Amino acid sequence: MLGTIRPKSDVPADTLTTGPFDRARPRAFVAIAVAVAANLGSIGAAQGQAWATRPGLLGTLLLLVSPAVLLFLLPRRPALATVLSVAAALTFLLAGYPWGPVFLGPAAVLATVMLSGDLRRARRIAWSGAALLAGGVASVAVLLAPRVERVLSDLPRNPHGYWGPDSYGPGWMRGDGAWFLTPDALIAGAGWLAIVLLIASAARDRISRRVAARAAARETAAERERTAVASERLRIARELHDVLAHSLSAINVQAGVGLHLLEKNPGQAREALSNIRDTSKDALAEVRTVLGIVREGASPPAPGTLPDDAAPLAPTWDLTALHRLADQARADGLDVAVELGPDVADLPDHLAGVVHRVVQESLTNVRRHAPSAFRVILRVTGSNGVTVVVADDGVGSGGPVEPGYGLLGMRERVEGAGGTLSAGPRPDGPGWEVRATLPISTRSTSTPLVETARPVSTGSTSDADTTETGETA
């Protein structure tokens, strides 16, 4: 349908999703917290690790590398941010500074990488960075172990396990802080880092699903709006076509009659010109009404602004309207027989409008495409449903003709009301027949301006679509 087709993106949905730490404000908050905690914590940790050096200016700068990359490199350069943060932490440890709080920086950077930027890339970089950090820490532990052992062996150990001037002997598992270098501690640290990244990954998945759901809701709303706009366009096109095609066909026929009789019979020519004037007046009034209804904020036309016999725009059809259409066709030289069943007098408004437009378009097609037609049968009956039949005795051109907007509009109206439409040669003789069958439902009698869009097939409703003998709009 017009206005409802949009090209689909080839990019996966999750690659279009941004993380919560793409914004600078949450990253700044985490960076400040990590800077304060890592520096103060390292100063305190140095008091409990007898072999460690208290961080000085170099140590403080190394601890500030992770907060800096959080602020300035993420989310644009996640790989570089990860490498710098891990390298700064490992350099801090190799310099002999205390273990513990230094890991806050790399852990925060890895978690932030997981929660920012492209999802797939973020996962790949974060887990790679975690492996790099774990391997680097294990390597540093192996390198530092002899040095720490030498330092601790020179320190006395007291019976309570606390190092001090009056203590004696080495104490790897005591209060000397050397427990950071044990295999169990290293494995536990790697496990906690994995838990942090798993939690960040789960949070990112949940956030991505929520973002995707909101995007889908916005797309659904936009699609609904586009469908409503397209449906309104189709409605306007149908209304204008029905009004103009019917009136202009009548004007064309009357103009031909007037030109033919202008010199031979001025009285009949005058009558033809009067019919042209009346038909054009009605057409102008109906076009103004259609445009007034579809304008934003416009209200329906006031009583008396349309001629009494003007065709209804909002469906308010009754038997008089069909008789008026038949009278207009008779004025063009057709012998129209109207057969109305007794049970169709009180049709719902929405069905009445569809019946009126089907009859109007069918009579217009007889004028335009069956010039040899003389007699037209108009039959409307109903019991469980409504059946509309418009048949003529004309002879078409015999060649296939592509269906026009008139037939398409009739089919859309009928199928929109839940019915079926067929158009083709008459089974009982020469001529053309249009047959519409509509179900009677308990639908409200008020018809909204914007109709629900329904897919309409122009190639499977009837064989007449591809083998018409010349009668089509």
pTM of the model: 0.48
Distances (CA, A) of 465 to 22, 360, 372: 57, 19, 21
Residue % of the chain over a pLDDT of 70: 71
Mean of pLDDT values over 370-388: 82
pLDDT for 411 beyond 80: yes
Query: According to the model, what pLDDT value does residue 318 have?
Result: 62
Average pLDDT over the chain, rounded to an integer: 75
Higher pLDDT among residues 353 and 27, named by residue: 27
pLDDT for 23 beyond 80: yes
Mean of pLDDT values over 440-467: 40
Give the C-alpha separation, 355 to 419, whole Å.
11
Query: According to the model, what pLDDT value does residue 176 have?
Result: 54
Least confident of 193-197, 374-378, 468-472: 468-472
Mean of pLDDT values over 234-244: 71
Mean of pLDDT values over 242-250: 68
Mean of pLDDT values over 46-66: 88
pLDDT for 460 beyond 50: no
100, 41 Cβ separation under 8 angstroms:
yes
pLDDT for 11 beyond 60: no
pLDDT for 65 beyond 90: yes
Residue whose pair of structure tokens reads 């190092």 in the numeric block: 163
State CA 365 to chain mean position distance.
39
Higher pLDDT among residues 438 and 170, named by residue: 438
CA dihedral of 321, 323, 328, 329, whole degrees rounded to 10: 120
Kindly report, residue by residue over 74-121, the tens digit of the pLDDT: 988 999 999 999 999 999 999 989 888 999 999 999 999 999 988 889
Mean of pLDDT values over 312-339: 73
Residue type, position 76, single letter: R
Least confident of 43-47, 50-54, 64-68: 50-54
Kindly report, residue by residue over 28-38, the tens digit of the pLDDT: 999 999 999 99
Write the secondary structure of the chain as one string of H (helix), E (strand) and C (coil). CCCCCCCCCCCCHHHHCCCHHHCHHHHHHHHHHHHHHHHHHHHHHHHHCCCCCCCCHHHHHHHCHHHHHHHHCCCCCHHHHHHHHHHHHHHHHHCCCCCCHHHHHHHHHHHHHHCCCCHHHHHHHHHHHHHHHHHHHHHHHHHHHHHHHHHHHCCCECCCCCECCCCCCCCCCCCCCHHHHCHHHHHHHHHHHHHHHHHHHHHHHHHHHHHHHHHHHHHHHHHHHHHHHHHHHHHHHHHHHHHHHHHHHHHHHHHHHHHHHCCCCHHHHHHHHHHHHHHHHHHHHHHHHHHHHHCCCCCCCCCCCCCCCCCCCCCCCCHHHHHHHHHHHHHCCCEEEEEECHHHCCCCHHHHHHHHHHHHHHHHHHHHHCCCCCEEEEEEEECCEEEEEEEECCCCCCCCCCCCHHHHHHHHHHHHCCCEEEEEECCCCCCEEEEEEEECCCCCCCCCCCCCCCCCCCCCCCHHHCCCCCCCC
84, 174 Cβ separation under 8 angstroms:
no
Mean of pLDDT values over 5-31: 67
Report residue 443's pLDDT band, with 50, 70 and 90 as the boundaries: very low
Query: According to the model, what pLDDT value does residue 358 have?
Result: 87
Distances (CA, A) of 7 to 11, 224, 228, 372: 12, 16, 19, 49
pLDDT for 253 beyond 90: no
Query: According to the model, what pLDDT value does residue 7 have?
Result: 43
Residue whose pair of structure tokens reads 């909101």 in the numeric block: 214
Does a cis peptide bond (omega within 30 degrees of 0) precede residue 75?
yes
Mean of pLDDT values over 178-186: 75
pLDDT for 397 beyond 80: no
204, 115 Cβ separation under 8 angstroms:
yes
